[in-house]
Structure 1
Amino acid sequence: MAVNPSDIPVQNSSGRYDNVDFKKATGFEYPPIKCSYNRRDVLIFANAIGIPSEELHFMYELDPHFSVFPTFASNLAFKQTDHDVFDFIQRTTTTPVPGVPPADPQRSVDGERGIEIVRPLPTSSEGLDLEIRGKVLGVYDRGGNMILEAEQSLLDVKTNTVYTKMSSTAFCVGQGGYGGPRGQSKPVIKVPETKPDAVHLYNTLPEQAALYRLCGDYNPLHADGEFGKRAGFKGKILQGLCTWNIAAHGILQKLGGSDPSRFKSFTARFKSVVYPGDILETRMWKTSTHTDLEHINFETIVKGDGRVALSNGYAILRRPGGHSSKI
């Protein structure tokens, strides 16, 4: 969708923007993003989120049940069609949204991410013409911060086959204050006070952020300690999506038998920063079972100081015996 030049905010001498109207952003469709991947990308992702060697169907391309881990698509909007490193900052600041000032990537973080698996991805995109099509659901103004909600679909344009539907919330610190709509607060998903049904522990490596960068998230914040300090952290930090994907794997491993065909949907809110080397503890509670679906609430904490890394965690697994996604 082309943006009318008159709808693009203009920065004034104070550093703020004129012509801001967050309501104009609702329904804006981003230009389609072409993306592709190979089996090596699938293996790198599995390694980067800590899948152990015993889960051979995610870790070995000659395994008869070799599969893509279900949340693999979460990084394709970054990676696109590249097989080399790229300028992450430039890539994430190129698309103007009507009525919305350009987000400052050094003061913008993921607020929440969700994914629904419509159809399992094959182990490479060979023969497919994959696009991510995204749309703005709304832009909100809360406490001087700007919040942008969007949805994305990954599909093969040759056949119009949709593989995943994704949702995202970007939290742009100090970039609001323009009197825009506040939007509706999402329901808080509270975890039960009972003992978890399962717990997944993962000790992140000091090199975890560097490894996960190879999936396409080349933000300097995850490689350069001085860059991280300038952003207000102790040093380089772990990608929020790395923590998110580690938790997704933990849920499938502990409650889904590591069977990718059982993974239906997963969402969580980013609550606190994680540093490479932190131990992540994902606690899971089965809240209900409806016919062929299992509903799970979860949270991920940093073991030691107990800070919550992921909150509002909610996942749905298919019960055993459903259709297979083995490729």
Structure 2
Amino acid sequence: MEIPNVPKLDARRVVDGQRYIKFLKPIPTTSQGKNVEVRSKIVGVYDKGKGTVVEREMVLAEKGGEEYVQIIESMFYIAQGGWGGPKGPATVNYPPPEGKQPDATHVLQTTAETAHLYRLNGDYNPLHATPEPGSNMGFGGAILHGLYSWNSTCHALLQMVGGSDPANIKEYQARFAAPVKPGDKLITEVWRTGELADGWEEIRFSTRVEGGKVVLSNGRALMKCQDVKSKL
């Protein structure tokens, strides 16, 4: 990636840092008869010393028409910092409510094939297919796509508190805190805050590997909650 006044960044050594999505309009189930485009622009580049963070905004929209989704992604370029750029603003933290048990828990078992199946979405980064890139980056082998954990956790939130209806989620975000290995079991814990704004309740959540680290932190969503309890 080439950005003016920034050293050339090696896309082979990049991982997701944080991602936010806002649903502006219901997404059509087909693009037939529509001229759909993704508008993309860099909104920030920050020197974190141990690496460089690049923030990019993407908007899914009809060309010249309605906007459906806004996404802000933060990409961390490993060991590509120290070039004297701005440090960037401090991020807002959304920890789980202190001393409160989760309102719902979801368990997802991944397999050795999970990353290979997820690659069919179009992300063919070898970091998720062969052990050598991950070993060279200090991960000890291949790791799952960060977006697999991010997307599957969003799906779990809808199942647990949103009645499995995509109309019941307005915003969703999380920070990628640690890698996930193929075969790991993912545990998502969800807390309802009771804080409402225009009918949308703020939800806090985190996802961790069973017996291990938190892999998605800073989890926050705005949802219309249904009286649905976890089946687990």
Report the TM-score, using the length of structure 1 for normalisation. Answer: 0.66
Partners of 1:100 and 1:127 lie apart in 2 by 41
The structure whose residues are more often strand, as a share, is 2
Partners of 1:293 and 1:211 lie apart in 2 by 34
Structure 1 stretches of 5 or more lacking a match?
1-92, 321-327
Matches for 1:19-98 after TM superposition, within 5 Å = 93=1, 96-98=2-4
Cα distance, 1:248 vs structure 2:
0.3
Partners of 1:194 and 1:319 lie apart in 2 by 18
Specify which of 178, 189, 205 is matched with residue 83 of structure 2. 178
Cα distance, 1:124 vs structure 2:
2.1
Give me the CA root mean square deviation.
1.5
Deviation beyond 3 Å, 4+ runs, structure 1: none
Q: Which amino acid aligns with 1:174?
A: A
Residues 180-203 of structure 1 deviation map (CA, whole Å, 9 limit, x = unaligned) = 111111122111231001111101
> What SS class does the counterpart of residue 152 from structure 2 fall into?
helix
**Cα distance 1:235–1:125, how it changes in 2: closer, same or farther (>3 A)?**
same
Q: Is 1:161 aligned to residue 66 of structure 2?
A: yes
The structure whose residues are more often helix, as a share, is 1
Residues 239-278 of structure 1 deviation map (CA, whole Å, 9 limit, x = unaligned) = 0000000110110100101011112110000000001110
How many residues get paired? 224
Cα distance, 1:234 vs structure 2:
2.1
Which residue of the partner structure matches residue 123 of structure 2? 217
Matches for 1:172-321 after TM superposition, within 5 Å = 172-192=77-97, 193-287=99-193, 288-305=195-212, 307-319=213-225
Which residue of the partner structure matches residue 229 of structure 2? none
Cα distance, 1:291 vs structure 2:
4.1
Q: Which amino acid aligns with 1:169?
A: S
Partners of 2:225 and 2:114 lie apart in 1 by 32
Partners of 1:253 and 1:170 lie apart in 2 by 28
Partners of 1:290 and 1:216 lie apart in 2 by 37
Deviates more, 1:143-152 or 1:266-275: 143-152
**Cα distance 1:319–1:278, how it changes in 2: closer, same or farther (>3 A)?**
closer
Which residue of the partner structure matches residue 20 of structure 2? 114
Partners of 1:118 and 1:280 lie apart in 2 by 29
Decide whether the 8 Å contact of 2:161 with 2:225 is kept in 1.
no
> What SS class does the counterpart of residue 211 from structure 1 fall into?
helix
Report the TM-score, using the length of structure 2 for normalisation. Answer: 0.91
Structure 2 stretches of 5 or more lacking a match?
227-232
Identity of aligned residues (%): 44
